[in-house]
Amino acid sequence: MADARTFSLREIAAHLGGEVIGEAAAPITGVATLDSAGPTQIAFLANLRYRSQLDRTHAGAVILGPDERDATALPRIVTDNPYAYYARTVALFNPPPAVKAGRHPTAQIDPEAIVASTAEIGPFAVIGHGARIGERTSIGAACVVGSNVRIGDDTRLYPRVTIYHDCTVGDRTILHSGVVIGADGFGMAPDQGRWVKIPQVGAVRLGDDVEVGANTTIDRGALDDTVIGDGCKLDNQIQVGHNCVIGDHTVIAGCVGIAGSVRIGKRCRIGGAAGISGHIEICDGVTVSAMTLVMKSIKKPGTYTSALPLMPHDEWLKWAVHVRKDAKGETP
């Protein structure tokens, strides 16, 4: 946890905007849910399913949308997007650990690497030949940054991140523990009953303001680069195959598998455990529900679902008969 911080509503609004209603000077020590907040904490109402909790909350203040501005007598901040405001308020009270410029004595840094004087290089980190590390960037313990890798400013690599040679990471990007960027894509050519490995000579390019969750892997391209656009957010344990291109501000939940040469547009949302077959395109503004299997291109924005809802097994067997009949035009 960061050092304890205290802000008044007036100070919070000075940092983040919003309209303050009621007592503006009382100290606020943190953020909590409506159900658990105490009298020195600020809570938020972003989902009307929790509206009843507003009447019984013990919070000292709340964050509300315009439609709920008069729903309580508690001190409050009114904002157009309470959920985003809550996120920024949590960040205000809990800033990330400050970057401590310097190199740990156990770090191995190639003489030809260029490391900004304001960067932090943690214990047992390895920085390869010709790599460049930007200003105020933090490289955590036991990270490996390969030769000719470029990492921008204000980026944070948590412990045990591996970035293979020639890859690029933008500014203000976060890579969590266990992330692997630039491993070989899965390219094999059949030859007389055996497999010939296709050299993967492309790279990976991550844009600015990207976040990649723990143990996610992003493969390098076979010839062209794999590209992750600005503002993309990837959860834990995702596989991104070689030569994929993911558009700006797309979010992908945990355990999604994306085969090679997939193009995903901007501002898409991919639900957890979805599977996306190779060599297809998904246009901008598409939402794919959790556990959906995408086997053909999606050319029109909207929400797409193929996952089956939970039901008793006997009912599912009957349902499956009808699905197969509709698909084949005959009873199996």
Distance of CA 219 to the CA centre of its chain: 17
Contact between residue 34 and residue 62 where contact means Cβ atoms under 8 Å apart: yes
Residues 6+ apart with CB under 8 A from 193: none
Residues 6+ apart with CB under 8 A from 315: none
Longest dimension (CA), the chain: 78
Q: What residues are annotated to the active site?
A: 242
Q: How far apart are CA 82 and CA 84, in angstroms?
A: 6
Contact between residue 242 and residue 223 where contact means Cβ atoms under 8 Å apart: no
